Every structure is written in C-alpha cells, then in structure tokens.
Chain A
Amino acid sequence: MDKHQDDSKINLEYDIIRNDFKRAGEASSDIKSILKKIGIDSKVVRKVAIVTYEAEMNIVIHSYGGNIKVTIKSNNIIIEAYDRGPGIENIPLAMKEGYSTATNEVRELGFGAGMGLPNINKCADDFKIKSTPEGTRLLITINF
C-alpha cells in the first residue's frame, strides 16, 4: 500500500492479485480501518467498505489482477477499481441483479450470485464503468 497525504486529500492504493482467495478482502479491511481511524461518518464507511470489498472480490474472481485506489477528499471519497482484463462482455447484463458468469468454485465461496455490481451501484452517489478486453475500470464517488 502507498499512502500519501497533502492538505486536501489522502490517497490509498492496493494491488489486487488474481485468484488470491486467501488475501481477498485485506485491502478493503485496511481501507475500512483507516476511514474509521480518521473519523469518517459510519454510514459513509459502510458504503465504502461494501464498494471496495465487492470490487476487490470481482478483481480476484473475474480478472487477471488489478488495483484499487481510494482518494479521500474534503467532501467525498473516490474509489477507482481497475483490472487488466479480460473485460465484461455485456455491462447492462452484468449490472442486472442475479446475472453471473461465476464458476461453481466461486459460488462455493459465497460469491458469484450476480449481486456485486448492483450492490456497488446501490452504495454509489456516482458510478461509471468502462470495459474492454484489455481491462475494466470502475469509478465510484461516495459523498459525505
């Protein structure tokens, strides 16, 4: 993790590794404890925790690996989740509750029920998603 701080914001960045189910959730756990420590409102912390955890699991489960960046500003928190592919074929379908391309192995972990992106969307004040075979990028804003 890299942590930089200037007058106006804090930046956090984490590498997320493909299929690393043992460490899956560690980045989100760290982000959550930092937000709590600096006194962010608990409702906002909950939203950020859900967004980062779903995004982290998505990268672990579906991608070749990627990273998550969190920028804490004075009136909002920006979460960027980026992965190196293979991309989401049909975004409107992936945004639909219950639609999933997950394997049985992933379902056995309690994920892959097609609720990840809808959950992220529910917590976000603004949600942008872009996907090509080279990678998927989520940009989520959560306001204070």
Chain B
Amino acid sequence: MKLKEIQKLLDAKVVTGEEYLDKEVYSAFGSDLMSDVLAYVDESAVLLTGLNNPQIIRTAEMIDLFAIILVRGKTPGEDLVGLAKDKNITLMTTNHILYTASGLLYGEGLKGVDING
C-alpha cells in the first residue's frame, strides 16, 4: 500500500517526508515498545505508534524503516521532526487511536508483520 493511500485512509497529516508518499509498504506494525520494533520489523513495514519521542526515529533508522504514523493525535516535538527530516523518514499524525487506525488499514488489505516467519 502506498503511503499516500495510508494518509488518506487515516485522514493523516504529513509532518515531514511528503516527497516520499509514493513509496510503498507491504505490512504494518503497531507498538509503543521499541525493542519489539527492533526485533520484528524491517523496511517493508509502516510503524504505527503512540510513542512521541526521538527514539522512534532512531529505532526506525536502525532497521531502515521509512514511514511512521503517530496515533492518538500526538504532536511531535521539534527534535523528533528534525531527526525524521535528517533521516528521510515520512512522519504522519492521525487522530485515530492505534486500534482504529490499524483496523482501517487492515480492512483495506494491509496485513500485520508476520513475527513467526
């Protein structure tokens, strides 16, 4: 699913990385635990998280993940946005809660990351 479709489905606001909205992801992962993201996720997935601090960008960088959706209407701080920009990561915010945002994407065919494979 292209990032711009995700943006539309979640009624999301693009904070940075608008130029990469044509990039595609093949699965999604929802978590506020960065160690779990490190363990299970790679660049083929989009991360949905309620965690609002620069460590989400650091975590994404380590595993080459390029798209992050902040849920529950969080407003990212300047340091987080700056780091996302530096690392060419697309950062969006949505007012939906994690459960609803995940359901909206899943319903349109974006599956969860397979952690047993």
Contact = CB atoms under 8 A, between A and B. Distances in A.
B51 interface: yes
B55 A119 contact: no
Size category of the binding interface on chain B: 20 to 34
Given A119-B38, A122-B39, A109 B58 contact: no
Main secondary structure of the interface of A (DSSP, over half): helix
A46 B42 contact: yes
Interface string B6-50: 000000000000000000000000001111101100100000010
A132 interface: no
Given A32-B61, A49-B63, A115-B33, A110 B38 contact: no
Given A111-B35, A119-B35, A119-B38, A32 B62 contact: yes
Interface of A: 21-22, 24-25, 28-29, 32, 42, 46, 49-50, 53-54, 57, 108-111, 113, 115-116, 119, 122
Interface of B: 32-36, 38-39, 42, 49, 51, 53-56, 58-59, 61-64, 79
